Structures are given as C-alpha cells and as structure tokens.
Amino acid sequence: MEKIKVLFLVGMCFIIAALFSCEPQVQMPFDEQAEVSQIASGFSFTEGPTANSEGDVYFTDQPNNLILRYSVEGKLDTFSTEA
C-alpha cells in the first residue's frame, strides 16, 4: 500500500510539473497597445457585455431595467427597457 502512495505522489508531481511548464497559446482579442477609457457613467449596476456581428456592444443596467447599446460609431443609446 505504501508503494502505491509513493507512485501516486510521484505521478501527481509529474502531472503538476507538466501543467506549469506548458505555455498557454492564448491570442489576445484586442490590440495590446489599446488604452482603457470611460465612455459613460451614471449607471446603478451594469452587467454584460456582449457584442453583435457588427461590433456594437450591449450591456444591462439592471436596477434601471435597461439594455443599452454602444455602437461602433461611438453612440450610446437605450436598446430596450425590458432588461
């Protein structure tokens, strides 16, 4: 039984070492030189976001029961009052 425990621990060490030695192949979905800027304020509690195929971004302001859209043209408007 003790031999099984040792083999198990050695095997786990190899697995952990392999996981930490792997380099993730993640491609960032945005320009790494991009800067963050605030586009709007005055919301109570926002969630989301999600985007459509054109690039417009949608998010909710739940306490105010709103779904908002930030367009690729830089315009913020209310998409729906049925959040």
Residues 19-41: tens digit of each pLDDT: 666 666 667 677 888 888 888 89
Residue 1 has pLDDT above 90, yes or no: no
pLDDT of 80 reads: 87
Q: Give the distance, in angstroms, between the CA of residue 45 and the centroid of all CA atoms in the same chain.
A: 17
Closest by CA to 42, choosing from 64, 21, 59, is 64
In this structure, which amino acid lies at residue 14?
Answer: F
Residue 78 has pLDDT above 80, yes or no: yes
